């Protein structure tokens, strides 16, 4: 079903049905068939039940038709229930009986049909449908009557090869089905060599297997206890099958009755032929089993041994696991319970965790002498390969003799002999190389649209098994792999649909990869882009394998040089087993890599990689972009024009490379053949041509041609005003000029005024100043780097005034103090927001929530009762689950400050500064440690005048100040008990509230005069300001080049009057997502802009991250009066390694973990 936002005059909603081909043939109101479009047969559905016509996305790509976008949006409900919208349209043409037909239709990811002709097109052609004969008659205006005969059902004709060739040569269109003829299967006695070993292929296994070199054992983890699980319930049909299979296993001696304390349930799994396989659920036993680490061989390693082979035989053991005994003492552990009794296996059953490894060990022991000579083994599958039939006869006889001597038996019906190509482990092997088994990827062809993350993982699991056959697999699959990320919402986009269809197409058309021959002639073609690395391994001109992977988050920050080098390193690591110890040529389109080994000025990453390259015998060669065999969509460099320029003008080529310019090659297709090269004319020629076709400039041209007295003039065909070149809009010349004036390295992002004045000297166009200002405002680089030269954003929004004493309190910690004799190194500052009374509680930085609750009850609840609310910052202890639960049980509401906006709790922040100053002064005047003065500092603070309430906090709390030695003038009862001292508490509170209101108004007026009002709407994009960097000494100077902002991020909610919730990227998921307006800047982006927030490592407090990762060296520097020990520190500077010399003592105090290894 489809809904069109543009079709508002239609009385009914348009509909589209996507039927299967066979289902469509049987429908009475539809006709199906084939037409030829651009030389390609197209599957067509004439559907009177669809109001709109549609084109298949895969078909449009296949025939090379370019799609275009329209303003009309079509919403389509797919057959699986999902919905999608599309603006994409395509145009195709075809002929029937000499009459040309044209269709412009919406593009959708159809699977069964290439073209669906709905009522819009059928009505235009005045078509009528004979449902019985399946004939469509079209009588378009001004054209002859045309009849189209559709398919009537399943009907086919058999033709000979000669008839087919003759028909094609005469211009006919052929749709041919190649049938697989099933010949009668040869009997065992008719197969050469195999006929001599009839006893190796018995109809049934001859009872219990013999004792072998190894038996299957089950080693349990220490202190493991027997586990017994009740049996599953079964249907009557399953119970009948269970009874039959139990009887067969008992008769063959594979199981026996058991009294074991172990018991596992049984279940049935249906086989491909419809029969039922008995399976034991050994999951609980497997959890307690020590895992066998015997390695299962890599499949690609097995294939590498087949080089040069042309004849193959494949053997499959008959119930292979049942041909290996279980160690006697481990038999009870295999017990399973059923309705018909309790049994245990004497042979190795399916479902045990170590079964594949143990059986692989057995087969390797049996065939050890012949492995990688003419036999490869994968668990119970045996492949015999030879370079000739005569050689194969010897090899096959040897393998069968080994099976006979070891009493191992094969199943003749599953074996294949004397083959030129063989299907083995999901691949087809032949003398030409290795290819994908088409029967294994057949399921991919008709795979339905993916609707859940689980379905995406299932599809990628099958597709990824054959990734070495698919060029740029990682890049093509990127939209799908992104859906599987933990923090990614599942949204099926057009990119996902295209990636899905592209992977299916490539897997159905995979190449044959050659097998490596010896260790000579290896070549690696590598390339890199902003999203992935790609490479191809070639030997003697034949492709051995493709390799690719997506970039890791930190690698996206690498410069181009490092990315290209990373692609080389990735290829060498991927194919080390081929190229280690061999001479290998590496081709890259980054020319400077050719001189890598001769360069001296390398960063630490490059030094590590150069050291890695030293283990290989490599020669790095330069090849222009598309001459690179990688032929990679990852590569977007120039192609054959590089060699053309190099051959004709070396100086011009160097200039182009230094400017980062390219020559664009255009041709009929994306193949390597270069049809022609288009060189752009110079700027004046383009302006001259555009001036005569731009309608806006025509009046100016006419006025210039009048001659004298005009402000306009024509000079060499170029329109000028006051000597300045007039730039028309045609051809986007203005955008190119602004790009050159702002984004290139010769301009380096000037401001709007400077850029306008620079352009104004030579160029003019209407609204030039406005266009320049808009260009600069939309520049994301400027927004991330340049600071704001205007008042900070956001007005002051004071907190509500409390109603009573200690109803509302605020709190914060003072950290970084020297550790006292009592072990304390922090102060917990708690302030009453009404009376301003403060409590200074010594504690330890590492104190947990349990200790804080104890201090809180003792110092606050005991003296003042339980507060209604607490204002604090987002310290981890205040936001912890335990602290929240305690306050919730007390009935106290927690109010946290906005992320990275400490002004929310400005009262406590100001108290902290006063406290620190008082402690410094006490320490200077009276000596001793800070904790010895803390209690008297608290008294002095609370007994001192506060401007906001115009009295001391103690006076606001108790009705009078507390006595001090200075109170000697106060005498008699009048001073102590008079009415002027013991005032009415309620009146005092009202007075404080009025004074606080006056103080808040004064502060707001002062603050707002120096700030500006900033407001955003939901859906806006904003940048987030980064705080000052963290680090020490010289490394700080490196951070001056870090961006000042992150983003852009989308505003998804307004929180209060001055805060907004942002949709943060995955890299910032650890941050609180609500931010004050003062740390946000609006992002002005073009509608078509691709939003990719820059990845900059930051701490939880939004500071850029600079951290030491190692000590490289140390030295002692002699000063005039003393020696200073220095250490050379390796820093992680936002993903880049840097070095600096630091004082050892300072580093030891701040980063003691660096010295734990005893290097220094």
Residue 864 makes CB contacts below 8 A (sequence gap 6+) with 805, 806, 832
Q: In what order do the strands lie in the sheet with 146-149?
A: 128-130, 135-138, 146-149
> How far is Cα 605 from Cα 1136, in angstroms, rounded to an integer?
8
Q: Poorest-confidence range of 559-568, 682-691, 755-764? A: 682-691
Is residue 291 pLDDT above 80, yes or no?
yes
**Strand spans (E) along 109-227:** 115-117, 128-130, 135-138, 146-149
Over residues 1091-1113, the mean pLDDT reads 60
Among residues of the chain, what percentage have pLDDT more than 70? 69
Helices (H) and strands (E) in the chain, counts: 35, 47
The pLDDT of residue 332: 93
Q: Are 715 and 675 in contact (CB under 8 A)?
A: no
> How far is Cα 122 from Cα 137, in angstroms, rounded to an integer?
10
Is residue 263 pLDDT above 90, yes or no?
yes
| Type and span of the H or E element at 341 | strand 341-345
Q: What is the DSSP string of 1062-1076?
A: EE--GGGTTS-SEEE
Vertex 544: Cα angle to 540 and 550 (nearest 5): 130
Q: 648 falls in which pLDDT band (50, 70, 90)?
A: very low
Q: Name the more confident of 978 and 1104.
A: 1104
Q: Poorest-confidence range of 96-110, 319-333, 390-404, 465-479? A: 465-479
Over residues 985-1005, the mean pLDDT reads 57
Rounded alpha-carbon distances, angstroms, from residue 1138 to 73, 609, 924, 1037, 1133: 52, 16, 40, 11, 6
Is residue 310 pLDDT above 80, yes or no?
yes
pLDDT digit string (tens) for 939-966? 877 777 777 667 778 877 777 767 666 5
Most confident of 333-337, 468-472, 851-855: 333-337
The pLDDT of residue 430: 80
Strands 54-56 and 99-108: parallel
Residue 856 makes CB contacts below 8 A (sequence gap 6+) with 830
pLDDT digit string (tens) for 338-380? 999 999 999 998 888 888 889 888 988 989 888 888 998 888 8
Q: What is the DSSP string of 981-1030?
A: TS--HHHHHHHHHHHHHHHHHHHHHHHHHTSB-----TT-EEEEEPBPP-
Q: Poorest-confidence range of 11-15, 589-593, 700-704, 984-988? A: 11-15
Tokens of 263: 């018991």
Is residue 257 pLDDT above 90, yes or no?
yes
**What rounded mean pLDDT belongs to the chain?**
74
Q: Are 543 and 513 in contact (CB under 8 A)?
A: yes
Is residue 4 pLDDT above 80, yes or no?
no
Q: Other C-beta atoms within 10 Å of 133: how many?
A: 11
Q: Poorest-confidence range of 197-211, 275-289, 956-970, 1015-1029? A: 956-970
What pTM was computed for the model? 0.38
The pLDDT of residue 724: 87
Q: Poorest-confidence range of 2-11, 502-511, 549-558? A: 2-11
Is residue 661 pLDDT above 90, yes or no?
no
Query: Could you give the 3-state DSSP secondary structure of residue 269?
Result: strand
Among residues of the chain, what percentage have pLDDT more than 90? 6
pLDDT digit string (tens) for 18-39? 444 444 544 555 788 888 887 7
Over residues 482-487, the mean pLDDT reads 76
> How far is Cα 830 from Cα 418, in angstroms, rounded to an integer?
88
Residue 369 makes CB contacts below 8 A (sequence gap 6+) with none
Q: 754 falls in which pLDDT band (50, 70, 90)?
A: confident
The pLDDT of residue 1: 40
Q: Are 74 and 87 in contact (CB under 8 A)?
A: yes
Tokens of 521: 């002639």
Q: 152 falls in which pLDDT band (50, 70, 90)?
A: low
The pLDDT of residue 409: 92
Q: 898 falls in which pLDDT band (50, 70, 90)?
A: low
Query: Could you give the 3-state DSSP secondary structure of residue 279?
Result: strand
Q: Poorest-confidence range of 11-15, 456-460, 1146-1150? A: 11-15
Q: Other C-beta atoms within 10 Å of 1095: how many?
A: 18
Backbone torsions φ then ψ of 15, nearest 5 degrees: -130, 150
């Amino acid at each position: 079903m489809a809904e069109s936002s543009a079709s508002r005059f239609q009385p009914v909603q348009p509909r589209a049905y996507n039927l299967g081909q066979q289902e469509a043939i049987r429908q009475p109101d539809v006709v199906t068939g084939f037409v030829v479009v651009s030389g390609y047969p197209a599957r067509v559905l004439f559907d009177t039940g669809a109001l709109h016509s549609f084109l298949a996305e895969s078909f449009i790509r296949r025939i090379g038709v370019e799609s275009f976008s329209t303003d009309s949006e079509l919403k389509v409900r797919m057959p699986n229930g999902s919905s999608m919208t599309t603006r994409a349209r395509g145009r195709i043409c075809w002929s029937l009986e000499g009459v040309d037909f044209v269709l412009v239709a919406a593009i959708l990811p159809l699977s069964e049909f290439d073209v669906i002709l709905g009522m819009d097109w059928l009505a235009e052609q005045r078509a009528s449908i004979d449902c019985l004969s399946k004939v469509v008659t079209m009588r378009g205006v001004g054209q002859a009557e045309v009849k189209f005969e559709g398919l009537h059902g399943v009907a086919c004709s058999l033709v000979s090869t000669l008839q087919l060739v003759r028909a094609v040569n005469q211009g006919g269109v052929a749709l041919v089905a190649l049938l697989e003829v099933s010949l009668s299967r040869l009997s065992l006695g008719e197969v050469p060599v195999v006929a001599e070993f009839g006893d190796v292929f018995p109809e049934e296994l001859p009872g219990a297997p013999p004792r072998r070199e190894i038996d299957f054992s089950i080693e349990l983890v220490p202190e493991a206890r027997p586990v017994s699980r009740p049996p599953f319930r079964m249907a009557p049909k399953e119970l009948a099958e269970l009874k039959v299979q139990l009887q067969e296993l008992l008769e063959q001696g594979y199981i026996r009755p058991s009294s074991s304390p172990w018991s596992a349930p049984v279940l049935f799994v249906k086989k491909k032929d419809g029969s039922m396989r008995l399976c034991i659920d050994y999951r609980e036993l497997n959890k307690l089993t020590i895992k066998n680490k015997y390695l299962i061989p890599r499949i690609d390693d097995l294939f590498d041994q087949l080089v040069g082979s042309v004849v193959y035989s494949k053997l499959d053991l008959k119930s292979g696991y049942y041909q290996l005994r279980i160690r006697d003492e481990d038999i009870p552990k295999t017990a399973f319970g059923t309705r018909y009794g309790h049994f245990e296996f004497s042979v190795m059953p399916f479902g045990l965790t170590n079964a594949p490894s143990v059986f692989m060990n057995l087969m390797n022991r049996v065939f050890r002498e012949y492995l990688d000579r003419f036999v490869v083994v994968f668990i119970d599958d045996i492949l015999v390969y030879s370079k000739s039939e005569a050689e194969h006869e010897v090899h096959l006889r040897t393998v069968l003799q080994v099976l006979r001597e070891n009493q191992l038996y094969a199943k003749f019906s599953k074996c294949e002999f004397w083959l030129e190509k063989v299907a083995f482990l999901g691949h087809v092997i032949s003398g030409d190389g290795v290819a994908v088994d088409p029967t294994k990827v057949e399921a991919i062809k008709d795979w339905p649209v993916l609707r859940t993350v689980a379905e995406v993982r299932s599809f990628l699991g099958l597709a990824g098994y054959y990734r070495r056959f698919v060029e740029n697999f990682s890049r093509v699959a990127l939209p799908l792999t992104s859906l599987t990320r933990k923090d990614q919402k599942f949204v099926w986009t057009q990119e996902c649909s295209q990636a899905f269809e592209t992977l299916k197409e490539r897997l159905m058309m995979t190449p044959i990869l050659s097998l490596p021959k010896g260790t000579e002639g290896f070549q690696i073609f590598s390339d890199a882009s902003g999203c992935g690395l790609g490479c191809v391994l070639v030997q003697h001109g034949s492709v051995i394998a493709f390799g690719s992977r997506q970039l890791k988050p930190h690698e996206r920050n690498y410069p181009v040089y490092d990315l290209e080098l990373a692609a080389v390193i990735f290829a060498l690591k991927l194919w080390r087993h081929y190229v280690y110890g061999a001479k290998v040529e590496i081709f890259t389109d980054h020319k400077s890599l050719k001189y890598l080994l001769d360069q001296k000025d390398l960063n630490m990453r490059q030094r590590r990689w150069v050291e890695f390259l030293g283990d290989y015998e490599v020669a790095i060669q330069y090849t222009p972009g598309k001459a690179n065999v990688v032929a990679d969509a990852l590569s977007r460099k120039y192609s054959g024009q590089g060699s053309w320029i190099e051959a004709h003008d070396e100086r011009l080529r160097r200039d182009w490379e230094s400017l980062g310019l390219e020559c664009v090659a255009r041709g009929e297709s994306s193949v390597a053949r270069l049809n022609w090269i288009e060189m752009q004319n110079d700027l004046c020629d383009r302006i001259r041509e555009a001036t005569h076709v731009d309608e806006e400039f025509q009046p100016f041209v006419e006025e210039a041609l009048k001659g004298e007295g005009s402000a306009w003039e024509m000079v060499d065909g170029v329109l000028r005003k006051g000597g300045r070149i007039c730039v028309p809009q045609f051809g986007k010349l203005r955008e190119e000029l602004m790009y050159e004036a702002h984004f290139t390295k010769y301009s380096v992002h000037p401001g709007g005024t400077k850029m306008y004045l620079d352009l104004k000297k030579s160029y003019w166009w209407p609204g030039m100043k406005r266009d320049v200002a808009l260009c600069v405002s939309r520049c994301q680089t400027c927004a991330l780097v340049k600071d704001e030269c205007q008042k900070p954003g956001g007005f002051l929004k004071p907190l509500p005034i409390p109603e009573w004493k200690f109803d509302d309190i605020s709190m914060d910690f003072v950290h970084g103090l020297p550790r006292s004799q009592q072990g304390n190194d922090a102060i917990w500052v708690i302030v009453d927001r009404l009376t301003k009374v403060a409590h200074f509680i010594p504690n330890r930085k590492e104190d947990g929530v349990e200790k804080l609750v104890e201090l809180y009850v003792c110092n606050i609840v005991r003296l003042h009762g339980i507060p209604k609310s607490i204002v604090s910052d987002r310290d981890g202890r205040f936001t912890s689950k335990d602290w929240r639960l305690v306050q919730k049980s007390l009935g106290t509401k927690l109010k946290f400050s906005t992320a990275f906006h400490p002004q929310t709790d400005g009262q406590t922040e100001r108290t902290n500064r006063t406290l620190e100053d008082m402690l410094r002064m006490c320490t200077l005047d009276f000596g001793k440690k800070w904790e010895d003065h803390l209690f008297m500092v608290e008294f002095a603070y609370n007994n001192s005048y506060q401007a906001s309430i115009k009295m001391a906090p103690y006076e606001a709390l108790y009705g009078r100040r507390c006595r001090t030695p200075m109170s000697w003038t106060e005498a008699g009862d009048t001073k102590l008990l008079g009415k002027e001292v013991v005032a009415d508490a309620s009146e005092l509170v009202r007075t404080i509230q009025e004074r606080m209101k006056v103080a808040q108004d004064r502060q707001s007026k002062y603050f707002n005069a120096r700030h500006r009002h900033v407001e955003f709407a939901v859906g806006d994009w904003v940048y987030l300001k980064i705080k000052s960097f963290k680090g020490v000494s010289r490394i700080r100077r490196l951070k001056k080049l870090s961006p000042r902002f992150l983003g852009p991020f989308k505003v998804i909610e307004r929180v209060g009057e001055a805060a907004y919730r942002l949709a943060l990227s995955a890299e910032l998921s650890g941050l609180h997502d609500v931010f004050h307006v003062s740390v946000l800047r609006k992002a002005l982006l073009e509608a078509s802009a691709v939003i990719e927030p820059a990845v900059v490592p930051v701490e939880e407090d939004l500071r850029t991250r600079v951290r030491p990762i190692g000590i490289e060296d140390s030295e002692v520097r002699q000063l005039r009066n003393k020696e200073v020990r220095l250490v050379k520190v390796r820093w992680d500077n936002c993903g880049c390694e840097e070095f600096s010399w630091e004082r050892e003592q300072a580093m030891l105090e701040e980063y003691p973990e660096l010295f734990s290894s005893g290097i220094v």
